[in-house]
Amino acid sequence: MALSMKRTILTVVLFGAICVVSSQVLELDERFLDVYKEVPWLVEFYAPWCGHCKKLEPTFHQVSMSLRNTPVKVGKLDCTRFSSVASEFSVKGFPTIKFFNGENIYTHRGDRTKEDIMEFVNRAKGPAVRNLASKGKFEEAKNQHKDSAFFLYLGRQDPVDDMFSKYSNVAEQMLIQSYFYAGNSAVLPQRIKPAVTPTVLAFKDQEVVEYKAQDGIVTMSSLQDWINSERFPAFPLVTGANINDIAESGKILVMMAFDDENTESKAGSERIKDMVKVLATQHKDRFHSGFQFLWMSDMETVNSIAMAFMKGPVVMLLNPTTHYYYMPLTPIQDMAMEQLMQYLEDVRDEKVPALGGTGFFQRLKRVFYDLIVMVVGVWQSSRWLFLLMFGLPTTVISVVCYSLCCMDTVDDLPESEDENSEDEQELLPQAPLEPDDTEQPMAVPGHEKSE
């Protein structure tokens, strides 16, 4: 009986240990360079002193739990100990999340939430082009991407086919940026009727957009540019983590930003948000080709672009190519829709003076702005850390400066007085010697010194 009980306890302990190991994030070292091509890997490159890395740790553990029954292995690597590995994979910041799938390496550029990281893994593990075999599969894909965009190639899926070959190449290059499907016309509902076949369709905002080749000739560059410009909804929610991704659309970004935590301006912010949304969704014929509309629920990104401390709501236009930005002189709260539409057209026609840029003074201003933001951020996060980083060094420097400025000089007075007296004696004329009236002793006769 006792032996059976011990075996039961041992089995339970071993099972628990196996479960812990299977859901654990593996600590990697330089041997990772020899094995990363064997199986799919999701790896976090971190530094022990990085605050963002510590904040990501519980989320990354949840991701590893979700992937424990998949072929994907989850690990993390300390870049301070194994800097050669980090250099091999061009890691320049912390934390950096990468997905390894054979020879292909992809870097996560979105938010560091569990949902976004899992979405990144789902895209990166492929395949680049997913097959839709029925109307049911098409409806599943449509429901899955109801808040985003996806692309569908209609036609014969033959690698020899020129358009399918170009479509597949673009899908390989933009694997982690969107979803790409392929099927025939039978998978589409009756209401969707493409003009030609084969073709490529973009589904977003409950609408369908068809690719139109210039002069009827499909080129790799034109197809990629079209996909890049159509892979975002008309008015998406964007954060500072993925704004660089949407900036690659090649369009002027129309950013409506407000502070979601500011309850006083919430009503006005919602009104302006609705107004910009109408421009994005109902006036595509005027603005879709040149502008990408978006909204942000915090002011951090627009403040960083303008290097200012503004309060929302604001509307800012950013040209990602030139790094110039534009802001109307009239407060957005006082602008009507017609005024905002006219302002957008004036920016497009270069009738509005630009701000920002990449000049010397802008770079110098960036240095001071980042310094101020860092100091304010440290103060807001921890008063003790602020005192340790800035208060203590300032106090030490002040004491040293005060000591140097107020220190009394000590002169060697006796030595200087002797030197001065000797100099004075050399300069004064010598007085003639006077006869001394003091009685001198007389020599005793007979005691003179003989010569």
Placement of tokens 């605050």 in the chain: 51
Name the maximum alpha-carbon separation found in the chain: 162
Domain match, 209 and 246 both: no
Domain match, 179 and 147 both: yes
The answer to whether the beta carbons of residues 50 and 94 sit under 8 Å apart is yes
Q: What is the CATH number of the domain that holds 52?
A: 3.40.30.10
Residue 315 belongs to some domain of the structure: yes
Domain match, 207 and 260 both: no
53: annotated active-site residue: yes
Q: Where is the domain boundary, 303, 331, 357?
A: 357
- 177 by Cβ neighbours in 10 Å (0-12 / 13-18 / 19+) ranks as middle
Q: For residues 241-266, b (16+ Cβ closer than 10 Å) or e, as one string?
A: eebeebbebebbbbbbbbbeeeeeee
Residue 240 belongs to some domain of the structure: yes
What are the distances in angstroms from CA 161 to CA 59, 75, 183? 43, 40, 14
Q: Which of 53, 28, 37 is nearest to 112 (CA)?
A: 53
Residue 416 belongs to some domain of the structure: no
The answer to whether the beta carbons of residues 96 and 105 sit under 8 Å apart is no
Residue 265 belongs to some domain of the structure: yes
Residue 418 belongs to some domain of the structure: no
Would you say the pTM of this structure is higher than 0.85? no
Residue 434 belongs to some domain of the structure: no
* pLDDT tens for each residue of the chain, 451 residues long: 444 544 444 443 333 333 334 447 999 999 999 999 999 999 999 999 888 899 999 999 999 999 999 999 999 999 999 999 999 999 998 999 999 999 999 999 888 999 999 999 999 998 999 999 999 999 999 999 998 999 999 999 988 889 999 999 999 999 999 999 999 999 999 999 999 999 999 999 999 999 998 888 889 999 999 999 999 999 999 988 889 889 988 899 999 999 988 888 888 899 999 999 999 999 999 999 999 999 999 999 999 999 999 988 999 999 999 999 999 999 999 999 999 999 999 999 999 999 999 889 988 988 888 888 877 777 766 677 667 777 777 788 888 887 888 766 555 545 555 545 555 555 445 555 455 544 444 444 444 444 3
Domain match, 70 and 112 both: yes
Cis link prior to 189 (omega < 30° from 0)?
Answer: no
Domain match, 373 and 352 both: no
Domain match, 121 and 174 both: no
Q: What is the number of structural domains in the chain?
A: 4
CA distance 448 to 191: 155
CA distance 97 to 79: 12
Residue 4 belongs to some domain of the structure: no
The tokens describing 200, both together, are: 């490529």
50: annotated active-site residue: yes
Range of the domain at 382: 359-393
Beta pairing partners, 45? 77, 96
Q: Where is the domain boundary, 310, 331, 357?
A: 357
Residue in 50, 79, 401, 405 annotated catalytic: 50
Residue in 53, 79, 401, 405 annotated catalytic: 53
Domain match, 340 and 242 both: yes
